[in-house]
Amino acid sequence: RLTEQHQEINNLMQRKNAVEEENACLKNEFSTLNQKFKDKSQELKDTEECAQKKEEQNRLVIKNLEEENKVLNTCCADLRSDLEKLRKQEAQWKMEKSGSDAIIK
């Protein structure tokens, strides 16, 4: 009976050692996966920050372009107005010239 108990103790010790080895392997694997998770989390955070900066830059570029577009539209409207005034002035001068030419003849 004592031999059986020793054998059972030996078997239990072998199982305990195997479980401890497996536990050590699992702890190492967990540690590795946890570090990978931390690295990926930091990478994601960095990527999100970069994306936010790009979005803000894009918003600023769009805002500046819209403001520039307003200025250019105003400039175009002023130029159209000037052109219309010059056309009217040209028509008036042509009428005056035509009248002067008629008087001269």
Query: pTM for this one?
Result: 0.59
**pLDDT tens sequence across 23-63:** 999 999 999 999 999 999 999 999 999 999 999 999 999 99
Q: How many CB atoms lie within 10 A of CB 9?
A: 10
Q: What pLDDT shows up at residue 105?
A: 85
**pLDDT tens sequence across 84-93:** 999 999 999 9
* 14 pLDDT above the threshold of 90: yes
Task: Please report the DSSP string for the chain in residue order.
Answer: -HHHHHHHHHHHHHHHHHHHHHHHHHHHHHHHHHHHHHHHHHHHHHHHHHHHHHHHHHHHHHHHHHHHHHHHHHHHHHHHHHHHHHHHHHHHHHHHHHHHHHHH-
CA distance 92 to 99: 10
User: Domain-by-domain residue ranges, the chain?
Assistant: 1-104
* Range 62-81 average pLDDT: 98
CA distances to 18, 26, 27 from 30, rounded to whole Å, are 18, 6, 5
